[in-house]
Structure formats: C-alpha cells, structure tokens
Structure 1
Amino acid sequence: MNVSQRNYGELNGETVFEYTLKNNNGMELSCINFGCVITNIKTPDRDGNIENVVLGFDTFEEYKKNPTFFGAVCGRVAGRISGAEFELEATTYTLAKNDGNNHLHGGEQGYSHVLWNSAVFESADEAGVEFYYTSPDQEEGYPGTLSLKVVYTLNNQNELLISYQGTTDKTTLVNLTNHTYFNLSGDSKRSIAEHVLTMKSDQFIELNDELMPTGELIDVKDTTFDFRQGRQIKDGIEATYAQNILAGNGYDHPFLLSQNHDQEIVLVDETSGRKLTIETDEPCVVLYTGNQLEGNFHLPGVASTKHYGLCLETQGPPDSIHQPHFSSCVVEKGKEYRTQTKFIFST
C-alpha cells in the first residue's frame, strides 16, 4: 500500500489536500478534504489497462461550485425534504429552499461544500483517510451539534469501504450518502447506457414531478425498474414509462433493498469487463443516471453529456421525516449514527 498527498487548493486561508491511496494491484483512490470528494478511482479492465471509472473535475475551482455533487458526501440529510421544513419534538425547523420549493442534499452549503479535517493511516493490507467535521447547531437550519467521522479505506482486495459515524447533542436528522458518479468504461469513453445493473430490490419509491417521494411503494415487476435479473440502463433511458420520463429520461429513484446484503448491487460494463459490487447496511439506494449532466461545464477530456455517469447512493429513504412508513433518519441525543457501504471492483 502507498499513500501520498499534495496541496490541491486553498479555501479561506486553509490548505485543501488531495490524498491518493494506491494498493498492490495498481488500483488508486484519490480524494480531497473539501466535501470528502472522491476525485478519481482508477481500476484495471480485463486486459489490465488502469483507467479512471468516476466522473470529476480538473481543478479545485470547479469543485468549489460542484453543482452536480461529483464524488461528495451529502448531508446533513441527503436527497430532498419536501417544503424545506420538518417538525421534530414539537418544534418546526425551516431549511433552505435550494431545489424549487424543496431542500436538497443538506442545503446551500451542505457537507459536500465544506472543509473537513483529515488524517491518513496505512498498514500492510490497507490504507485510508479519516475525515472529521463538527456541524454546529442550526447549521443550514438543522438542530443539534453533530460530530461526524467519515472514513475511506482501500485494501489489496480492490475494496473501498466508506464508513460514517456521528453523535449529536440534540435529537436531529442524519442521512449521509456518497454522490460518486461511476462510468466503468474507463476514462469516460462511452456513456453508461449499456452498463448492466443487477439489484436485489422488489420495490421502488414513486416520485412526483418535483422528484419528491409520493409515499407510494411500487412493485418493480413488469416495469423498467425491475433489476432483479439485471438490465441495461438504456432500458430506462429509452422507456415511455411515466416514472422514467419525469426523472429526465432515466432514473432518479430510491429502491428498497432486500435484507440480504451479500452482493446486492452489481454494475457491469461488458465491453471493458469491469464489475462493481456494492454491499451496504442501508435500507435504500438511489439510482441516478446523470439525466441532468448537460451543462456549461466539462469533464476531463469530454464535454458534459447526459448519461455519462450513474450514482448508486446508499442511504435511508428520502423525505422519511414526512413519510412515517419509511425507515426513520431521526438520531436521538446521545445515540450514535453509524453505517457503511463497501465498493468491490473486479473483472
């Protein structure tokens, strides 16, 4: 294992660092302590060619804006909160309306856009970066001072483990995720349309035209949302199904996962031979297929285009504070928030 770091930029007089973890197989993970952003993941294809399999920017100036949340940890609550407010313990909390009438990914300056403290660690078989952030009471409108630790660990089995933990001094909401966009073709050679995704999910959450959960759980059977036996992403991109169309021709939907966490999400690019297996203790994954990636920004070496990356955001169900039958994201005072997701890269 090898760990290196370099100065990546500066924010309010403080240095932003980029850390690169490299294992004995040549796999690399690079990340910065601004938003815990993953800037690169380089893995071999079936012929041993090592290429980047995530989307990102070239410069820190672009990451400071990062409207697409490339590679970032999102919170205090990932996803949308309807009406940008919620009630907790008989108190109403008002949040920023940064997505129409709703609140998205923690607000105007969520955890994706703040500087975290960081430290590296290394052993014979693994290396990683620990990120720390203390979110003060009422930051972005949320109650409670929340002390957070996020750890990225890479090992010699080509596994990336992301672990999250936090404690609060007041009952609050916590629902973190990582917003990395994957493209297993390598160096964004092709769109993700022909990637094959398999998921152990019998139901997805219906969305309205604001992309807010309606509260309805829809059976995936006989829809383009049935990934239980595997299907190409383009099935949803090209579909006439109303839920695919309102998402911008593709997916931007939460899927409820089965209780068996062994290889529950598998993404394959058959041309390169790359395979990504995701295992999580979270109850839900949001599949987002980059339907809004058209814009006035560029990815390294390629213009930004729809469907050039997809996110598999493991988390609790969005807007659960307004949907009592969803898994709760309430963390009580003195209780610990803890969750983890493993990303396994292979060919």
Structure 2
Amino acid sequence: MHKPHIGHRAFGSLPDGRQARLYTLVNRNGMIVRISDYGGVITEIHTPDRHGFFTDITLGYDTVAPYSHESPYFGALIGRFGNRIARGRFELDGETVQLPLNDGANHLHGGTGGFHKVLWEAAPFQDGDVCGLTLTYLSVDGEQGYPGNLRVKVVYALGDDNTLGVKFHAETDRATPVNLTQHAYFNLAGHGSVLGHEFTIDADAYLPVDAGLIPEGGPAGVAGTPFDFRSARKLGARVGEPHEQLARGSGYDHNYVLNAGAGGAAVRVREPVSGRVLELFTDQPGVQLYSGNFLDGSLSGKGWRYGHRGGFCIEPQHFPDAPNQPRFANTILRPGEQYETESRFRFSVQR
C-alpha cells in the first residue's frame, strides 16, 4: 500500500519564459495522475491491468513545449466554450458577439488562446485519503472575443477508489457563454488502436451534424444506427460503415444526449486484453465521443507515436453551438449566478 501524497517538479519553459510545473498525485493503491498548471493538462494516468501491472493510459508529452505548440488538446482543460460555435458568432442581449475562427468557418474549444493555452494558478491539497490540485484563472473581458471577466476554478481530486474527480466553478461580471470540459485522450491498453475497446453509452439519442460538425435538426435516435452503444460494443465494430454522419466526422465525433436521471455511469469503456475499465459519471447533459480520427502518426510523446485512432475522448459537456440553438439547454452565465459542474472518471479492472 502507498501513502496518498502529492508532489511537483519543473515541467519546462513556455515561449515567453514563464515556467510550467507538473504535479503528481498518488493514491493508496499506487495509481498516479500527473497534471500541469499549463492548460490544466492531464499528462499521465497510471492504472493497473488484471495482473497488477501499471501502464500510462493517456496520450500526452514529457515536457510542456509540445503542449504550447502542436497538441490537439491532449489532456487539456477546455473553455470558455467546449466544442464548436457556428461561424464563431451568436446574439447575446441584443448584441452580436464575434469570436475568432479556428476550425474552418467555426470557433472551437475557446479559440487558439483558450484555457488549454494559459498558465493557471495552482494549489495542491490533501484531505485525508484524497489528494488533489486546485487551479484558478481569470479570463478577462474580451479574451478570445468573449464578453465579461470570468473567474474559473477547477478542482482535480484523486481518491482511494481510483476515481479522479473534476469539479468546475465559474462566476462572471457580464453575461457570457460557458461550457467547460476536460479533453483527455485515453487508451486503456497503453498504446495501439482503440478500436477493440468495448463502449457502453447511456444515451438513446445523439446529435447529427452538418459538414462543419455543427448540430443540425435536433437529436436523433441511435436505434438501428452505428451510434447505438446502449449495449457494449467495440468502438470499431461499425465505425467503417457507409453512414453519412460517420463520413462527416471521419468516424465518431458526435455529442450524445445522455439519458436523464439514469444514475449510473454515462459511459463505460472496457479494454478486453488488459481488463481495464473506465467509467464516466457526470451531471452534464451530453458527452462528446471522439474516436481519434485525426491522429495520423505525426505526433509522438512519452516514447509512443500516436497513430490513427490511437486514443479516444469522452468529453462531458453541454451541447455544441448552444448559444445559437435555443432548443438546447442554456449555456449563458450571468452576473450573480454560479456555474457548477462535476464529472468523475473511475478506473477499475474486470478480471
């Protein structure tokens, strides 16, 4: 058994000379989570397989430099608005807000200078058997085009049940859209293709998208489609089928409408060879499933080259383009209100 603890070390220099740090969380079972104050990125997660052998199961880099240049959001905190906003434009209280376009004709994940590209204030903590890291950041009025000064706090907490909790809190002095999420890439085998991972997603519907990956036409039922993961199915079982939505996303890159009030895991993923299991619990209405479609072997880190579909993302969040789609749940935060959301990633082994 290990004594729960948290430590830190230097993680390298940013282009402007500021120094990033890397924090290591260890629980009683020896599970390790490493998080940087740059971008709030989760750089490593070490969990055991059915034989007790620990492996790093998340994609990332050994130093901060690649995160500041070439990273496709590996392990990062995302904000102010996760996912896409069509044309980077929306109406808010009678005014048109224009955000920068960084995904073709759309705005993605808070812009090129979103929360994944900022140095957060970090405060490690230990509370009994829980060790964690609190990150805070002030996103000033006009940053990446967003109105209002937004104060954000994120709390990572690792418990002895091998659960990593992620709590978000935000307040603003002016109405602004907020949709925060965590963008870890997982591979429960450690490396190689994730198409053999078995997925269960507690959702009867998903959001079809247009050619720009903006939701169109409202939710659609998953029954009878390659998007049906209500029962365990390998990620690669139907990803290659000739389906218009799979063609538009180059695979899975879609938001699932989670069944409300189900109480169990929103997503369960099992890697059959290692026996590793990942469960996501969240209070968010949706989760974005991304099957690593644009990984092409050009990026490498921690001794591995990240090939096509070498990692997957399950990003708990509100729905894409919500500021432009009134039928979706509200994502506008106003002065005096509190933005609060929590997700938990639980790791276990099925023997």
* TM superposition score category, shorter chain reference: over 0.9
Any conservation in 1 of the 2:183–2:313 contact (CA below 8 Å)?
Answer: yes
Displacement after TM superposition at 1:15 (Å): 2.1
Secondary structure at the counterpart of residue 237 of structure 2: helix
Structure 1, unmatched stretches of 5+, are: none
**Whole-angstrom distance in 2 between the partners of 1:75 and 1:123:** 28
Compare 291-300 and 70-79 and name the one that shifted more: 291-300
Q: Which of 229, 232, 235 is matched with 2:231 structurally?
A: 229
Compare 294-303 and 147-156 and name the one that shifted more: 294-303
Q: Which of 149, 166, 169 is matched with 1:162 structurally?
A: 166
**Whole-angstrom distance in 2 between the partners of 1:93 and 1:35:** 25
Compare 138-147 and 54-63 and name the one that shifted more: 54-63
| Partner residue in 2 for 1:308 | 310
User: Is 1:90 aligned to 2:89, yes or no?
Assistant: no
CA displacement, residues 112-164 of structure 1 (integer Å, 9 cap, x when unaligned): 00100000001331100000000001111111100000010001110100000
**Whole-angstrom distance in 2 between the partners of 1:97 and 1:344:** 35
| Partner residue in 2 for 1:203 | 205
User: Is 1:73 aligned to 2:77, yes or no?
Assistant: yes
**Whole-angstrom distance in 2 between the partners of 1:24 and 1:191:** 30
**Whole-angstrom distance in 2 between the partners of 1:266 and 1:59:** 30
**Whole-angstrom distance in 1 between the partners of 2:83 and 2:178:** 11
CA displacement, residues 193-228 of structure 1 (integer Å, 9 cap, x when unaligned): 010010110000001111111142110001111111
Q: Which of 7, 10, 14 is matched with 2:13 structurally?
A: 10
Secondary structure at the counterpart of residue 214 of structure 1: coil
Any conservation in 2 of the 1:200–1:228 contact (CA below 8 Å)?
Answer: yes
Task: State the TM-score, normalizing by the size of structure 1.
Answer: 0.97
**Whole-angstrom distance in 1 between the partners of 2:226 and 2:282:** 23
Please tell me the residue identity of whatever aligns with 1:216: G
Please tell me the residue identity of whatever aligns with 1:137: D
Within 5 Å, which residues of 2 pair with 1:1-347? Answer: 1-11=4-14, 12-186=16-190, 188=191, 190-248=192-250, 250-259=251-260, 260-294=262-296, 296-347=298-349
**Whole-angstrom distance in 2 between the partners of 1:236 and 1:107:** 32
**Whole-angstrom distance in 2 between the partners of 1:109 and 1:215:** 31
Any conservation in 1 of the 2:131–2:157 contact (CA below 8 Å)?
Answer: yes
**Whole-angstrom distance in 2 between the partners of 1:303 and 1:127:** 31
**Whole-angstrom distance in 1 between the partners of 2:45 and 2:244:** 34
Secondary structure at the counterpart of residue 86 of structure 1: strand
**Whole-angstrom distance in 2 between the partners of 1:90 and 1:99:** 26
**Whole-angstrom distance in 2 between the partners of 1:73 and 1:253:** 19
Secondary structure at the counterpart of residue 207 of structure 1: coil
Any conservation in 2 of the 1:95–1:141 contact (CA below 8 Å)?
Answer: yes
**Whole-angstrom distance in 1 between the partners of 2:252 and 2:85:** 19
Please tell me the residue identity of whatever aligns with 2:76: A
Any conservation in 1 of the 2:38–2:64 contact (CA below 8 Å)?
Answer: no
Any conservation in 2 of the 1:174–1:331 contact (CA below 8 Å)?
Answer: yes
**Whole-angstrom distance in 1 between the partners of 2:40 and 2:245:** 32
Please tell me the residue identity of whatever aligns with 2:55: E
**Whole-angstrom distance in 2 between the partners of 1:184 and 1:297:** 19
Displacement after TM superposition at 1:295 (Å): 5.1
Please tell me the residue identity of whatever aligns with 1:276: L
Quote the sequence identity (%): 39
Distance 1:74 1:15, change over 3 A: same
Structure 2, unmatched stretches of 5+, are: none
Displacement after TM superposition at 1:317 (Å): 0.3
CA displacement, residues 16-44 of structure 1 (integer Å, 9 cap, x when unaligned): 11000001101000010011000000000
Compare 284-293 and 325-334 and name the one that shifted more: 325-334
**Whole-angstrom distance in 1 between the partners of 2:273 and 2:101:** 42
Please tell me the residue identity of whatever aligns with 2:285: P
Compare 45-54 and 326-335 and name the one that shifted more: 326-335
Please tell me the residue identity of whatever aligns with 1:233: L
Distance 1:77 1:215, change over 3 A: farther
Secondary structure at the counterpart of residue 196 of structure 2: coil
CA displacement, residues 276-297 of structure 1 (integer Å, 9 cap, x when unaligned): 0110000000000110011532
